Amino acid sequence: MTDIEFKTDMEFAYATPRELAPGVVRFVANNPSVFTFKGTNTYIVGTDDLAIIDPGPTDDAHLEAILKHIGGRTVSHIVVTHTHRDHVDGLDKMATATKAKVCGYGRNEGNQGALVNPFGTEYIDDNFNPDMVLHDGDKVSGSNWTLEALFTPGHAPDHLCFAFPEQKVMFSGDHVMGWNTTVVAPPEGSMSAYMASLEKLIGRSDTVFFPGHGGQIPDPQRMVRGYMVHRNWREQAILGAVRDGHTTITDVVAKVYKGLDERLINAASLSVQAHVDYLIEKSLITCDGPTDFTCELTAV
Ligand SMILES: [Zn+2]
């Protein structure tokens, strides 16, 4: 599948500010991995009084560099795209240091306890308790910036993107990234929510997206459409595999992801499970019980 042109070049140095647009500075935290690419991006918005988007992980050098860059300026808000640990573990220290108001959607429903990612690491901060709860369309603003929340669940049930209309840019969090596809893995992720959240971005006039990981996305509408095509193609391939007699998720993964690296099989299986859940919602597949990797699937 080569319909998406991933952008994996990224100019940056850890603990170093990089101005990406007027009033947008990026720091990259030093937590590289297969999920986080070079690390989590933290953005500073504004020029006089400021907002911070996603504090990132616990990384003292990252925090210190950001505080040094801020200098004597006021940080009025810290906004959070979602409560995966690589985005919020550094929150408490940053909020204490800046005295900023913490804003985010919050995990007010469906708290699922200690969820682990496909590589076995606990990755959600269930204790996130924002000073200001943001819902779709809510705004926070400063002297020359506005951040408008767009509720975009799918990767996480509490995910927000933030539009910065003064610069026609959007902070897309982990919903749309240029370096790789977004992880959509149940029970945390939902494919139907994710697809609806992609659809929600179609027709917007932002000229660039700044994601939670990786470099900027200069042609965001093309990227969003590319992801929609990619997931629709994957869904058809999965449906086709079930119709051809591959009736468990494990079988479907073997068919659809031929020659996949062993270490990625669990992640691929969760992604297929997300697609299967969506196909069940659309009444295109039935399952003989709750979906897991070995339940028996039937195409309708
Ligand atoms: Zn995430």
Q: 90 near 57, Cβ under 8 Å?
A: yes
Structure confidence by residue, pLDDT tens digits, 214-255: 999 999 999 999 999 999 999 999 999 999 999 999 999 999
Compute the distance from residue 18 Cα to the ligand 1 centre, in Å. 22
> Measured in angstroms, how far is the CA atom of residue 87 from the centroid of ligand 1?
7
Residue 259's pLDDT band (cuts 50, 70, 90): confident
* Helix, strand, coil shares, percent, the chain, to 5: 30, 20, 50
Q: Given pLDDT bands bounded at 50, 70 and 90, which one contains residue 120?
A: low
**What's the one-letter identity of residue 45?**
V
- The first and second tokens of residue 289, run together, are 């019980």
In the DSSP assignment, the letter for residue 84 is B
Q: What distance in Å separates the CA atoms of residue 225 and residue 99, rounded to the nearest whole number?
A: 39
Distance from Cα 284 to the centre of ligand 1, integer Å: 29
**C-alpha of residue 151 to centroid of ligand 1, in Å:** 14
Q: What percent of the chain has pLDDT over 70?
A: 94
The rounded Å distance from CA 86 to ligand 1 centre is 7
Query: Ligand 1 centre and the CA of 244: distance in Å?
Result: 34
Tell me the CA–centroid distance for residue 10 and ligand 1, in Å.
19
What residue type is assigned to position 46 of the chain?
Answer: G
* In the chain, ranges of CATH 3.60.15.10 domains: 18-227
Using CA atoms, how far apart are residues 162 and 2, in angstroms rounded to an integer?
Answer: 29
Residue 202 has pLDDT above 90, yes or no: yes
pLDDT digits (tens, 9 = 90+) for 145-187: 999 999 999 999 999 999 999 999 999 999 999 998 899 999 8
Say which residue, 258 or 148, is predicted with more confidence.
148
| Per-residue three-class SS string for 39-76 | CCEEEEECCCCEEEECCCCCCHHHHHHHHHHHCCCCEE
Q: Where are the alpha helices (DSSP H) in the chain?
A: 60-70, 85-88, 91-98, 191-199, 220-243, 249-256, 265-281
Top CATH class of 18-227 equals alpha beta
Q: Name the pLDDT band for 18 (thresholds 50, 70, 90).
A: very high
Cα of 84 to ligand 1 centre, how many Å? 5
